[in-house]
Amino acid sequence: MKTCLKLFILFLMFSGTVWAEVEPVKVQVPETTAWIGQRVPFFVELRSAGSFAGAASFDLPQLPGSLLLNVGAPVMDTQIIEGQSWNLQVHEFALFSQKSGDLEIPKISVRFSRRDAFTGPAMEIQAEVPSWQVHIKRPPGTKSIPFLITTETLELSENWEPEPGPTQAGTIFKRTIVQQASGVSGMALVPAPVYAPDSVRVYSGQAETNDKLERGDFFGERRETLTYLLQKSGTVTLPEIRYVWWNPKTEQLQSLILPAVSLEVTPLSTVSMPGKIVSRYAWLWLLVLATGLVAIQWRRLAGWTTHFREFINPPQRSAARKLLQACRLHDAAIAEHAWSAWRNVQTTGFTPTAELSSSVLDLQRHLYGFKPTESWRGDSLAKAFSAQLDAASRHSRYTPVSILPLLNPGE
């Protein structure tokens, strides 16, 4: 009897030693080398001797110029580890980076609950996903492209409302651009540029992103609407928009182009009505005229006040001040709204610096990512934006530079 008891105690000690040696978390990285903008998949294994309880929680870090996403639902599996059967909960993640060189992914905190058997109380486990490194390569001939995606296929479509055609000053056109790419998250796709002549105001709305996982294949979609306000008459030409991406299979740059659009814009005209109708409604026009005369002085005063306010506080300066203030308060929603307002009043061909593009990408990832982060700090965006303003103040004239090079520069 004593011998059996000793053997049982030794068995428990041996089992405890085996369980202690098995790490609760393991990371698997199939590929440690990737192109800029290419999806880098990695997998996190959570281990339990019994069943899992509840959902796991990961504290994903914010990496400058990079996007880190949790993809899909976890997959359950079993594996023999140290001679015993363990239940596995495998979580898939995707990394997209716009920075070349060696990138270190720091340890990721994870919390989950597990049981020692299939029934009984659950124990909360707090662990860390081990850190790992990946080498990001920049494709040759792409140094002038601050934002580049890597995919084998990219589909591009656009829809106008109303359809482009002869129109009058003051008309508003809405242009919805949809990108669809394989192996790329919608948040990792390049934002639509806001190029337009000086006589056209362009407003960029908030992008809608959607990611799908079908039979192991990853598809991303980005949908955004540009609003064009035609301010002056004449012939207006909206320049073509070229989307360039790197094909990792052929190792070549490829592109798709949304063609340029020309519009004949006439001044606002007053349509004359037949004499009988005019005389019938003459009293109505007189009433409108009288009301206008009463209000004209007030409107003139209000107009002077508005012009004076815009003179001493231009929209560009106001938006910049709001953006910096939102960064100091770490308010992501206000910062994104202020950034859009500031971006919309920039000159044609404006291109942000790589640092500013990276910081804005971090902001958008926080707000619209597949699994948004819990916190955002505006320090890096404020620093990059201030540097952009300082650089602009040193140059009285800005020379537009396209962020997307030609496929055949020598031609």
List, for residues 50-100, the tens digit of each pLDDT value: 889 888 999 999 888 899 989 888 999 999 888 888 999 999 999 999 999
Q: Is 138 helix (H, G, I), strand (E, B) or coil?
A: coil
Report residue 279's pLDDT band, with 50, 70 and 90 as the boundaries: very low
- Contact between 315 and 341 under an 8 Å Cβ cutoff? The reply is yes
Residue with tokens 């068995």: 11
Pairing of strands 25-28, 101-105: unpaired
Domain ranges across the chain: 22-137, 144-269, 275-312, 313-411
pLDDT at 302 (0 to 100): 53
Half-sphere exposure of 259 (CA within 13 A, CB side): 3
Task: Evaluate the CA torsion angle 329, 323, 188, 172 in order and state its sign.
Answer: positive
Alpha-carbon distances of 244 from 16, 189, 403, 404, rounded to whole Å: 56, 11, 10, 7
Alpha-carbon distances of 228 from 110, 173, 194, rounded to whole Å: 46, 5, 9
List, for residues 23-55, the tens digit of each pLDDT value: 999 999 999 999 999 999 999 999 998 889 888
- Report whether pLDDT(259) > 50: yes
Q: Which CATH class is domain 144-269?
A: mainly beta
Residue 188 DSSP code: G
In angstroms, rounded to a whole number, what is the distance separating the alpha carbons of residues 360 and 376?
Answer: 12
Report residue 14's pLDDT band, with 50, 70 and 90 as the boundaries: very low
Q: Is 387 helix (H, G, I), strand (E, B) or coil?
A: helix
List, for residues 145-197, the tens digit of each pLDDT value: 888 999 999 999 999 999 999 999 889 999 999 999 999 999 999 999 888 88
In angstroms, rounded to a whole number, what is the distance separating the alpha carbons of residues 376 and 129?
Answer: 22
Q: Is 44 helix (H, G, I), strand (E, B) or coil?
A: strand
Q: Answer yes or no: same fold for 22-137 and 144-269.
A: yes
Other beta carbons within 10 angstroms of residue 307's beta carbon come to: 10
Structure tokens at 328: 């100091």
Report residue 315's pLDDT band, with 50, 70 and 90 as the boundaries: confident
In angstroms, rounded to a whole number, what is the distance separating the alpha carbons of residues 353 and 339?
Answer: 14
What is the Cα 343 distance to its own chain's centre? Answer: 15
Alpha-carbon distances of 318 from 105, 209, 325, 341, 342, rounded to whole Å: 38, 29, 11, 9, 8
Phi-psi region of 57 (alpha: psi -120 to 50; beta: other; left: phi over 0): beta
| Amino acid, res. 97 | S
DSSP assignments along 256-281, one per residue: EEEPPEEEEEEPP-PPP--HHHHHHT
Residue 187 DSSP code: G
What are the φ/ψ torsions at residue 89 (nearest 5 degrees)?
-120, 105
Q: Which CATH class is domain 22-137?
A: mainly beta
pLDDT at 273 (0 to 100): 44
Other beta carbons within 10 angstroms of residue 233's beta carbon come to: 16
